Structure 1
Amino acid sequence: MKRLLAYFKFSKTEQNGFFIILVIIVLFVTIYTLIKRNTRDPIPNQAKLFEQSFHDSIEISSPTDKREFNNPYVNKNESRESISPTPDLNDEKLFYFDPNNLPHADWHKLGLSDKQIAVLKNYEKKGGRFKVKTDLKKIYSINERLYKRLEPYIQIKTIPDSERTKQQDRASLLYDKFERNKAELIDINTCDTTALISLKGIGSILSKRILKYKDVLGGFYRIEQLKEVYGVTAETYDLIKDYIVVANLDGIKKININKVDANSLAKHPYLSPKDAKLIVNYRDQHGSYVNIEDLTKIGTLSDLAIAKIAPYLIFENDSR
């Protein structure tokens, strides 16, 4: 026993340390006990707040909504209709309107959301038009409830057939200035870019290409040559061919076939460098050309190439 008690003998310093530790432990236990008594369980507290807010929301909801929560036998379709995301519309804020091209802000005033308006505008972009009131019901973003509120205020302006025809005629005339007046035909050899742009299907870039090609050719002698211009498609040519003429042939630049060198001759779009060299070599070997038939003697030039280049050539004894 004495041997066991020997283990519990403390020096003066150890006794003081033990006493201090004991005091600290007692203080911690006391403080913890006091805090625990004054602290509420957070989970029941949050549940109570949620329950209170839930009942408050029922109290301020419409009678229809309250009936839905209280009546477990409420019809599902009725329930879905009553909690529709579409906000309630105040009849005092509604106004008479035409849904065709109605501004975004006015749709907002009628109570539609941005998503609903986006669907309507997309329908208009694709060429859609509301001809009668019920056409608005075909838009999937407009539910039955919203349509019933808006229907009394829809006023679609009808355009008489005669007026619609007049509008189409005016638009057509504005787009094509020369459709009605055949006297105002464009001479492709003397016109400028402004005249060409006035034609349907011709823009500023294409008009410049046409005039540049005219300069390279030396002038047009047939309107079909427009098909050779890059960008003039078959559809574009069909649109403009009836409004273009080649009236001024005097302005076509001629090439003296008996004096031109191979490099200069090769610059013409209708002759390749090889063709130009053959023409000049044959002239140097056999003498000057007398007429266009002499080019057929070369043998390597096709009849089509000769026919195309012929209007741009003059010969030494040619009076042109």
Structure 2
Amino acid sequence: MKRLWTYLRFNKTEQNGFFVILVIIILFSIVYSLVRRNDKKDPIAHQVRVFEQSFHDSTGLVDYPNKKFSGADVDLEEKVVAVQPGAESKKEGTKLFYFDPNNLPTDDWQKLGLSAKQIAVIKNYERKGGRFKEKSDVKKMYSINEKLYSKLEPYISIKKETATASRTDKTTLLYDKFETSKAEQIDINICDTNALMSLKGIGAILAKRILKYKEVLGGFCRIEQLKEVYGVTSETYDLIKDNVMVSNLEGIKKININQIDANSLGKHPYLSPKDAKLIVNYRDQHGNYTNIEDLTKIGTLSDLAIAKIAPYLIFENDSR
């Protein structure tokens, strides 16, 4: 124990140095405490911090869309405006009146008591497509605080848009080019790709499919056959049906049912290879067909298939 005490015991010089360091530490603690206390009570330092925050907010409006103005910001803003030329007259000229906030001119916002910074936030919102649909939407603007909204709320009067007007505007945007230049009636048996592309809903690819199907079919007998073309939906057909017609039936290709072979007959869209073979086999067994009713004797052909293929057939004793 005595040996340990010899390490902890200070001589006279070491004791004096220890007390000097202790006094310095105490003095620094007292000075630091006084400086902090004075800084908290200093109004200039507080105003500098408020001004820096207000300046940051004014230069970052778009970056903080959901931030509300604090009371300190509003107070400082009013003080700054007060020293600007003409600002006093604007504050004195504040006048409340009924207004629609949508597309309200800047001058009217100023008459309601809003500052240039508050108006800039609203105009930026409108430029991005924003609209006020009800009173509470005005309150959502972060430049409008509770106190200002309470003052404006009784005078806000928003015009309601009717659903009919909204639909009319959308329809005008979508079909304006079609309304201004309506397509004339086109004979789908003699038209070309460009003529088909002038119709609503018909592009280059679909126009080529229609012409290809006409060749395979042998020509259109009625406009309803357009529905059989791949890509012509019910909606597309409804768009074009009033602008197409079939007036030229002379160019329709006919099939002599008593001379054609089963392979060639099976290439027609209205007959399957199996149907074509049945027709040819029945002809070979019972002789030539004299009219369309003879096809019903086969028994396996549906009435619909016979009705669809009939306009494209000729018989040995047919003069067509």
TM-score range, shorter chain: 0.5 to 0.7
Name whichever of 217-226 and 203-212 sits farther off.
Answer: 203-212
Unaligned runs of 5+ in 1: 1-25, 66-78, 93-97, 101-107, 124-129, 150-164
Distance change (3 Å), C-alpha of 1:282 and 1:227: same
CA contact (8 A) 1:261 1:280 kept: yes
Structural mapping, 1:120-269, within 5 Å: 120-121=128-129, 139-140=137-138, 141-142=140-141, 143=144, 174-176=177-179, 179=182, 184-269=184-269
CA contact (8 A) 2:185 2:244 kept: yes
Q: RMSD value over aligned CA atoms?
A: 5.5
CA contact (8 A) 2:221 2:246 kept: yes
Alpha-carbon distance in structure 1 between the residues aligned to 2:34 and 2:250:
102
Alpha-carbon distance in structure 2 between the residues aligned to 1:260 and 1:229:
26
Instruction: Report the CA distance between 1:305 and its aligned residue.
Output: 0.9
Name whichever of 229-238 and 44-53 sits farther off.
Answer: 44-53
Alpha-carbon distance in structure 2 between the residues aligned to 1:312 and 1:49:
106
Structural mapping, 1:17-32, within 5 Å: none
CA contact (8 A) 2:290 2:315 kept: yes
Alpha-carbon distance in structure 2 between the residues aligned to 1:190 and 1:49:
97
Instruction: Report the CA distance between 1:48 and its aligned residue.
Output: 7.4
Instruction: Report the CA distance between 1:261 and its aligned residue.
Output: 2.4
Partner of 2:47: 58
Alpha-carbon distance in structure 1 between the residues aligned to 2:42 and 2:317:
109
Q: Which letter does structure 1 place at the counterpart of 2:211?
A: L
Unaligned runs of 5+ in 2: 1-13, 55-67, 87-101, 105-116, 153-167
Distance change (3 Å), C-alpha of 1:194 and 1:59: same
1:111 aligns with 2:146: no
Partner of 1:289: 289
After superposition, what is the alpha-carbon deviation per residue over 1:54-110, rounded to whole angstroms, capped at 9, x for unaligned? 963435748xx9xxxxxxxxxxxxx9774689x979899xxxxx949xxxxxxx996
CA contact (8 A) 1:266 1:272 kept: yes
Distance change (3 Å), C-alpha of 1:272 and 1:60: same
CA contact (8 A) 2:189 2:220 kept: yes
The percentage of aligned residue pairs carrying the same residue is: 54
Instruction: Report the CA distance between 1:308 and its aligned residue.
Output: 0.4
Instruction: Report the CA distance between 1:252 and its aligned residue.
Output: 1.6
Q: Which letter does structure 2 place at the counterpart of 1:265?
A: L
Corresponding residue SS for 1:250 = coil
CA contact (8 A) 1:290 1:316 kept: yes
Name whichever of 191-200 and 213-222 sits farther off.
Answer: 191-200
Instruction: Report the CA distance between 1:267 and its aligned residue.
Output: 2.0
TM-score by length of 2: 0.54
